[in-house]
Structures are given as C-alpha cells and as structure tokens.
Structure 1
C-alpha cells in the first residue's frame, strides 16, 4: 500500500468533519486492505475476499481517520476502550490518543487471548478501573462476532460494563445477530457492501 495514498495533510484530518473522513477512509480500505481470491478466515470459513484491517489501522493517516470516526460514535458514558489482541491493539491506542485532543479521557485496554504466562497472569492489560466502568469494545473486522464477544466476556468477568461494540467493517455473516442475542449494541463504520461497491468502482471491468 502506498504510504502517500492520502493526499490531504495529516493536520487537516483533525479539522474536517467526520462525515468528510468516510470517503478517504473507504478509499484506503479499497486500495490494499480489501483483496479478492480464495481465503480461509480466522473463523475457519472459506471466503472469496479478505479484509486486512491492520493495513488501515497501522497506516498513520488511516489510524487517525479511524480514531476520529470511532470517537464520534462512542457512547457519552464511555470511560475506556478495549479489544482483543492483535486486531484491536492499534484501534484502542489511536482512539485513546484522539480522545486527548478532543479533551476526553479514554483509557485503552488490551485483552489477551490467553492469560499472561508470568507475573499477575492477567488477561487484561492496562490500568485497573473501578467495577462497573462503562467500556466500549473495538474490533477491526466482524465476521461471526466471536473475537469481540470473547473480549466482552473477559471484561464482564473483571466486573466492567460493556456498553457497545464498535467495528470498522461488518462482513454481515452473523456477528450483528450474535451481539443482539447478548443484548449488546453494535455499530460498524462500513458494511461489506460499502467496501465492495467502492472497490468495484476502482476496478471497472
């Protein structure tokens, strides 16, 4: 992916409205993160396309755009943002930093897939917060929804309150329904239809 893909200066990404960030962010997804072919997903399912969200969240300007868009959708009572490693690591960091510039304190928490093998043997990395703290779970790409749900389970076991799941892309393969069955509000910046329609416009037959 071309690191100079986004023409606008990074400073301008702080001043424009979040609505104006959707188009360049969608463009960034479609110029490298989205691929068509034959893939096996984390869930074990086969797919004719693949979305590598980390090619967006580990892009400097991509991370900034993502952070601003997610920050705009956080419930007002959110005190921390969290997610399952590795996909959510850059998300929680970027959103927490963007919150500082928006005069909003958001603590980043990273949830391990397995307990730490030494020291405290903790599942959750980050500052320990009071029981009942409202936390929003972040995810890059939602397929079946299991990854974010594992993060939710760990947070609830630690005594926290999960108020929403926010994702970059919803592949619409059962994740939203899974969250609904657990009474978890869910939003995604883009659906797979958004990604594919824009990708097709960039790759006319």
Structure 2
C-alpha cells in the first residue's frame, strides 16, 4: 500500500531545504565524493519548524509499519530521532529511539548502539537526513543485524541519487526518501 504524505508538510519542508540547507560550491562529501552542492540537513532538523515537519512526515511514513523503534547513524539521525519519538509520544504512540555510533566509545558502557536496549527480533526503521551512497546507513544496519534486530527499511529526508538506493538494496534494506536530488535542485 502506498502511503500518502501530507502535501502541505512536504511543501514547507522542501522550501526550508532549498532556503537553508542547500549550499552551492565544491565540497567533499562524507562518502569521499566531490560535489558542486551540499545539503546540510542539520540546518533543517536542528530548527524547530524543520524538525517538526520532518517528524510529522516520518511518523506518517512509519504509521503502517509494525516497528518498535527508529534510529540511525549519528549525527544525521540524532535530531530526527528525537523529534519523531517526541511527536509520537505527544500523540500517545509507543516508539523507541536509538543512535548508532561510528565506533564503540572507549569509556562508560562501551556501546555501539545507544538508547534503550533493542530486543532480538524487534523491527526498526533506520533514518537519516541525507544519503549519497548509503554507507552510513549500511554500517548502522550491520550493527543492528549483529544484535538480531530486523531493519524494516531506511527513510531519509533527501536521497542524492548517487547509489544509496542500489547499495542499500544489496544490503537487504529498502530505501524510502521524502525527496530526491531532482526535487531540491
């Protein structure tokens, strides 16, 4: 079943992305690729209106999925996770959150996956602000796979359309994007 996204939230979020997150000029991305534009998703997700809009759309996209939590690779997922679980809680819905570190921290509990413990066999959705090749999401999925957690899909605000969809599919994960590069540029 195809989920209808709220058009008014999408229009507002797209406007914010174009006005605040899109930067033109040569830049090296986390994937190592060089690009002539950059989308700084954190300028949107760390903004009250942007966080709200992204969370509303994320909740709509996951509403028919039987999942226990959302999370993703730090740092892009952090504000999305916080805003989405807060909005879910305000609506009386149960939804947990987690963050996957790049590497195990050397002190404290020495965890790779932060947040309440995810039960083996539980279903989750990965989220991120922007994806290029899907590398960060794939690494997060691998960490969850090791814990016996089932990744239902990955949802991103923007897919730069540079291999993420294909790479995630090869890793056994479907990618859903709110926007694609063509929508932003």
* TM-score, normalised with respect to structure 1: 0.85
CA distance in 2 between counterparts of 1:44 and 1:149 reads 16
Structure 2 partner of 1:151: 140
**Partner of residue 123 from structure 2, selected from 125, 128, 134:** 134
1:193 equivalent to 2:182? Answer: yes
Classify 1:67/1:171 alpha carbon distance in 2 versus 1 (closer, same or farther; 3 Å). Answer: same
**Partner of residue 89 from structure 1, selected from 72, 78, 103:** 78
**Partner of residue 176 from structure 1, selected from 157, 165, 176:** 165
Within-5 A mapping of 1:21-170: 21-74=9-62, 75-170=64-159
Structure whose alpha-carbon radius of gyration is higher: 1
User: How far did 1:100 drift?
Assistant: 1.2
User: Which 4+ stretches in 1 moved above 2 angstroms?
Assistant: none
CA distance in 2 between counterparts of 1:39 and 1:129 reads 37
CA distance in 1 between counterparts of 2:22 and 2:76 reads 15
Gap regions ≥5 residues in structure 1: 1-16, 197-205
User: RMSD value over aligned CA atoms?
Assistant: 1.1
* TM-score, normalised with respect to structure 2: 0.94
Q: Secondary structure at 1:136's aligned position in 2?
A: strand
Between Structure 1 and Structure 2, how many residues are aligned?
A: 180
User: How far did 1:182 drift?
Assistant: 2.1
Q: Secondary structure at 2:61's aligned position in 1?
A: coil
User: How far did 1:102 drift?
Assistant: 2.7
